[in-house]
Amino acid sequence: MSHPEPAPTLPCAPEAVRRVACIGAGVIGGGWAAHYLARGYDVTAWDPAPDAGPRLRRLVEAAWPALTRLGVAPDASQDRLTVTETLEEAVTQAQFIQESAPERLELKRELLARIDEAAPSGVVISSSTSGYPMTDMQTDCADPGRLVVGHPFNPPYLIPLVEVVGGTATREDVVEWTGRFYEAAGKSVITMRREVPGFIANRLQEALWREALHMVAEGEATVREIDDSITEGPGLRWATMGPMLTFALAGGEGGMAHMLDHFGPSLKSPWTRLEAPELDKKLYDAVVAGCDEEAEGRTIAELVAQRDQGVIDILRATGRLPRFPEGGVAK
């Protein structure tokens, strides 16, 4: 589906945005509002729930001490939040619109069409959807070209990642503008070139989540054991180094190639209910080359030292330095 009208102009540079509208003020929409306020934006918010205003203010208030400790923009203030009576009021002055409605396709479709109708011409409308492709959500919009996905992680005021991806009808300049906007708003952006349901991180955590549910269903592990196995195990690494490069270091001085030679056969093991892809030469080469590229010339020894420092920093920061019964101390 391609856009029939001449492309409307974007109203301002992404770095010049000062007024953001948040449509939907639950956990995610409210978290976005807290984030934008902390970054010094004016925020207008609307949510159809009768208690949306007080609930949103409570959420922002609860997050504010943490945000202040983390650092807020010089002119940031909770007073710059306006909760409006109608959707139209919320978007009429907005230079960027973040939609965070419940995860139901029909609802998203209708709501995005309403936002599109009410919003100033050219203003980008970004959806927080956890997994719907924009192609399926922008169908009822008069100007689908300005609709894009900007998928955050909970809480949006702390977790940097936003996945940006357009639908078939989304304009290329809108995708590019949105990535720059989120960067300016302090987020860490991955712009996807292809629409995949669940995007990247949700596909990865959904795989983990489904296996966890299988384990609970089969009585193989408790909820707490699942959580402890991550926070005391791989989770400590993943806050400082991703799963691919982490696994490359399991290969010792041989890196990812050696790791795949050694653990490749495990892809045939029943270690999860997830079917593995065939580890053919093409995939093998892509994974090894991808790790080399990500390493940017760092040797395995340098990567190990960097991972170790990261994990130590995290252990120290989260109060998990080793304890010694006989009185050893950290230096």
Restricted to residues 78-97, the positions that interact with a second copy (CB under 8 A) are none
Helices (H), the chain: 27-38, 52-70, 87-91, 105-118, 134-137, 172-184, 201-217, 223-231, 234-238, 243-249, 255-263, 281-295, 300-317
Kindly state the smallest distance separating residue 142's Cβ from a second copy, in Å.
Answer: 28
**Which residues are registered as beta bridge partners of 189?**
162
Candidates 6-14, 85-93, 119-127, 306-314; binding stretch for a second copy (CB under 8 A): 306-314
Among 18, 70, 86, 299, binds a second copy (CB under 8 A): 70
Closest CA to 64 of 104, 102, 37, 40: 37
Based on CB atoms, which residue is closest to a second copy, 6 or 219?
219
For CA atoms 125, 126, 131, 134, the dihedral sign is positive
Tokens of 85: 């009576």
Candidates 42-50, 109-117, 166-174, 261-269; binding stretch for a second copy (CB under 8 A): 261-269
136 binds a second copy (CB under 8 A): no
Among 9, 69, 142, 297, binds a second copy (CB under 8 A): 69
Residues 166-195 binding a second copy (CB under 8 A) are 184, 186, 188, 190, 192, 194
Q: Sketch the per residue contact string, 140 through 159, with a second copy: x for CB under 8 A, - otherwise.
A: -------------xxx--xx
Kindly state the smallest distance separating residue 163's Cβ from a second copy, in Å.
Answer: 7
279 binds a second copy (CB under 8 A): yes
12 binds a second copy (CB under 8 A): no
16 binds a second copy (CB under 8 A): no
Tokens of 190: 């991955």
Residues 44-63 binding a second copy (CB under 8 A) are 62-63
Residue position matching structure tokens 């300005």: 146
Tokens of 315: 């252990």
B/e letters for 22-60, b = 16+ CB within 10 Å, e = fewer, are bbbbbebbbbbbbbbbbbbbbbbbbbeeeebbebbbebb
Q: Sketch the per residue contact string, 207 through 226, with a second copy: x for CB under 8 A, - otherwise.
A: xxxxxxxxxxx-xxxxxxxx
Among 120, 235, 298, 299, binds a second copy (CB under 8 A): 235
Instruction: Tell me if residue 142 falls in helix, strand or coil.
Output: coil
Candidates 6-14, 92-100, 116-124, 245-253; binding stretch for a second copy (CB under 8 A): 245-253
Kindly state the smallest distance separating residue 236's Cβ from a second copy, in Å.
Answer: 5
Kindly state the smallest distance separating residue 102's Cβ from a second copy, in Å.
Answer: 7
CA distances in angstroms from 290 to 3, 103, 230, 257, listed in the order given: 35, 33, 25, 11
Based on CB atoms, which residue is closest to a second copy, 97 or 248?
248
How far, in Å, CA of 153 to CA of 23, rounded? 17
Kindly state the smallest distance separating residue 198's Cβ from a second copy, in Å.
Answer: 3
Kindly state the smallest distance separating residue 176's Cβ from a second copy, in Å.
Answer: 17
Kindly state the smallest distance separating residue 17's Cβ from a second copy, in Å.
Answer: 13
290 binds a second copy (CB under 8 A): yes
Is 249 within 8 Å of 307 (Cβ atoms)?
A: yes
Is 61 within 8 Å of 181 (Cβ atoms)?
A: no
Candidates 84-92, 93-101, 106-114, 315-323; binding stretch for a second copy (CB under 8 A): 315-323
Based on CB atoms, which residue is closest to a second copy, 7 or 216?
216
**Phi and psi at residue 22, to the nearest 5°:** -110, 115
Identify the helix (H) or strand (E) that includes residue 219: none
